[in-house]
Structure 1
Amino acid sequence: MARWDGIEECVAVAETRSFTRAAERLGSSVANISRQISRLEDRLDVQLFQRTTRSVTLTDDGRIYYNHCRALLDGLVEAEQAIGERLSEPTGRLRITAPLSYGERYIAPLIAEFTMHHPRLEIDLQLTNQRLDLIESGIDMAIRVGVLEDERLVARPLAHRAQFVCASPDYLARFGQPHTLAELKNHSCLLGTLDHWRFTDQGERRDIRVTGRLRCNSGPALRDAALNGLGIVQLPDYYVKEDIQAGRLVTVLDAFAPAEEGVWALYPPNRHLSPKVRACIEWLRRRLKVEYPVSGADQRL
């Protein structure tokens, strides 16, 4: 490509301040270096270097051109490195954090399979509901569900999850089924860590404050309480989907179902995404869609 001719020679002369040392760096001859620089100056119609018997220095135009050419060569090297990393086998230690229940149900089994496919990789998977600081904790990747809060991190979508409001047939037989959001105040709601539930009403998000006699920060415990007829609960699909399919729980207020939440892979903003993190993200994306389809929405990812 003619437009690239002379660029490496220009950068080498600028950085070594010598046609001789530039030729040594590039494994070329002084005559060829001089010829390439002259052709480049003729094409650009500017003088790039001031030449004396003792030194070679950049002109003002040469300094501007050198800065851009240095960036181009750096970008070329980085592009080649990125391709090399992509094709290389993931190795080393990969530290991942994920929410406890979602991690136990979905992430941990997939990570175990991923580990089997990459014998040179060591996995450290931490399941916790604490929002660990990836940068301070030295964690390579986090799985997060819902609204993202840390703008310092790069986010890749993996899947979606849905929220269901449901109760046991026994509870609904005794206390009736709510048909409007306002009717929730007449029911015993099983509370998690929040005092409100999310809904969608005429296309707009609505947060409805709910009350009840039982509060617990455990999804499985709230599910068990709902199965035992203690009240209505709002829980993610992975807690209650099988119970709904089996008829042990019945969904209510379906017309006000909240928008689905994203499941994300987050990682620190590195210049190049490491092969181990890239491979893990792609593995989770593919496997979550095939093995654990939450809803039709994740097919859009």
Structure 2
Amino acid sequence: MDKLRCMEVMVAVVEAGSFAGAARQLNISAVMVGKHIQQLEAHLGARLLARSTRSRHSLSEVGAAFYEDSKRVLEQVRWAESAVERSRAAPQGLLRISAPITLGGQLIAPLVAQYLLQHEQVRVDLQLSDSVVDLAGDGIDAAVRIGQVVDEGLVARPLKPYRMVIAAAPAYLARHGQPRRAAELAQHSCLSHSVWQRRNEWTLFDGQEALRWPEVARFSCNQGDGLRTAALQGLGLIMQPEVLLADDLAAGRLVAVLQGSSPPPRPVHLLYAADRRQLPKLSRFIEHLVGALGS
């Protein structure tokens, strides 16, 4: 039994004054109107309508109370439906996004700011973490991830690949010379990301030989920006994401070296659940991000 439909028929009968009038209003047969009322009365175990004349019906005491409550329920349903329509026209509400720390801080955060300037009724909670989040369990609408996609039943939209750059300050290269092969890194002062020692290592190439970034470092840090600051002081060579070093490379504060030995780029994807794509706040964000960073 469709309870809302039965309530709608009940209200139409009361307001039209007869089954025939309700049938015309709802564009169904009078027989069908009667069936809906019978189903409702059987479900409730109470008589709602009493025939007062040959064709007109009057409300019982229980029916009068049910009629008033039904009108309120139907009004709430109409309000909810209109709210959905409004949200389709104008994105609104809270959007929760997850992204890796460096990529998120350098690229995603500025794009989120642009998106918010375009959609004033949306709020964004951007969570930067290199941990893999559970979208459904953590209440995340969309996540940007680096690396191959593990099938989680999510939609994966490709973004620009994540590239690494090996670089040093001109002052360091003036003192120690520029390495010509990846194997020479062992004789240089290399600044290391401490997380690489446990996971997420990058592979360099010296011709056909695969090499790792030197494990022994005078300075290590668990944040790329700390390594960048040390490199700008001339402390040594770093290998960090292109998005983090782009401005320094363009300004000459850092110089890229061993470009043929840099690790292969890793894929980046924007992930979200297919059933949430219809939310305007998310669909517009997807369009915005893919438009700016789509591969």
The TM-score, its normalising length taken from structure 1, stands at: 0.61
Q: Tell me the alpha carbon deviations over residues 101-147 of structure 1, each in whole angstroms, 9 at most, x when there is no partner.
A: 32222222221221232233232222233322111111111122344
| Corresponding position of 1:222 | 227
Equivalent residues in 2 for 1:1-301, closer than 5 Å? 27=28, 88-149=89-150, 151-192=152-193, 193-195=195-197, 196-200=201-205, 206-211=210-215, 212-270=217-275, 273-288=278-293, 301=295
Kindly indicate whether the alpha-carbon contact (under 8 Å) linking 1:162 and 1:236 is maintained by their aligned counterparts in 2.
yes
Question: For 1:118 and 1:139, how far apart are their aligned partners in 2?
Answer: 19
Q: Deviations over 1:146-168 (max 9, x none)?
A: 44456443211232332100112
% same residue: 41
Q: CA RMSD in A?
A: 3.2
Residue of structure 1 equivalent to 2:11: none
Q: Which amino acid aligns with 1:210?
A: P
Deviation at 1:263, TM superposition (A): 3.0
| Partner Cα distance (2:166, 2:264) in 1 | 13
Structure of larger gyration radius: 2
Letter paired with 1:130: S
**1:243·1:249 contact (CA, 8 Å) conserved in 2?**
yes
Number of equivalenced pairs: 214
Offset of 1:178 from its aligned partner?
1.6
Match of 1:75 in 2: none
Instruction: Structure 1 unaligned segments of length 5 or more: list them.
Output: 1-24, 31-83, 289-297
Structure 1 stretches of at least 4 aligned residues deviating more than 4 Å after TM superposition: 25-28, 84-88
TM-score of the superposed pair, with normalisation by structure 2 = 0.62
Q: Distance in 2 between matches of 1:120 and 1:86?
A: 10
| 1:114 counterpart SS class | helix
When residues 186 and 115 of structure 1 are mapped into structure 2, their CA distance, relative to the original with a 3 A threshold, is same
Cα gap change, 1:205 to 1:263, in 2 (>3 Å): farther
Shift of 1:179: 1.4
CA distance in 1, matches of 2:157, 2:137: 20
Aligned partners of 1:287 and 1:208: how far apart in 2?
A: 33
